[in-house]
Amino acid sequence: MLLQIPEVFSKAEVKALRERLDAGPWADGNMTSGHQSATAKRNQQLPEDSDVAREVSSLVVQALNANPMFVAAALPHTIFPPLFNRYEGGGEFGLHVDNAIRQQRGGGVRIRSDLSATLFLSEPEDYDGGELIIEEMYGPQSVKLPAGDLVLYPSKSLHKVMPVTRGARVSSFMWMQSLIRDDGDREMLFRLDVATQRVGLEKGPKDQAVIELTGVYHNLLRRWSEV
What's residue 224's pLDDT? Answer: 97
What's residue 35's pLDDT? Answer: 54
What's residue 34's pLDDT? Answer: 54
Asked if 4 and 151 touch (Cβ cutoff 8 Å), the reply is yes
What's residue 32's pLDDT? Answer: 55
Residue 218, pLDDT > 80, answer yes
pLDDT tens per residue, range 84-121: 999 999 999 999 999 999 998 877 889 999 999 999 99
Cα separation, 9 vs 15, in Å, equals 10
Residue 110: CB atoms within 10 Å: 12
Give the pLDDT band of residue 126 (cuts 50, 70, 90): very high
Domain residues of the chain, as ranges?
A: 3-178, 183-224
Give me the DSSP letters along 126-162. Answer: GEEE-PEEEEETTEEEEE---TT-EEEEETTS-EEE-
Cα separation, 14 vs 174, in Å, equals 17
Mean pLDDT, range 166-173, rounded to an integer:
98
Q: Based on the number of CB atoms within 10 Å of its own CB, is 135 exposed (0-12), middle (13-18) or buried (19 or more)? A: middle
CATH topology for the 183-224 domain:
DNA Excision Repair, Uvrb; Chain A (4.10.860)
Residue 33, pLDDT > 90, answer no
| pLDDT greater at residue 176 or residue 38 | 176
What's residue 54's pLDDT? Answer: 96
User: Quick one: CA torsion of 102, 121, 9, 137, rounded to 10 degrees?
Assistant: -60
Residue 155: CB atoms within 10 Å: 21
Give the pLDDT band of residue 160 (cuts 50, 70, 90): very high
In the chain, % of residues over pLDDT 70: 96
Architecture of domain 3-178: Sandwich (2.60)
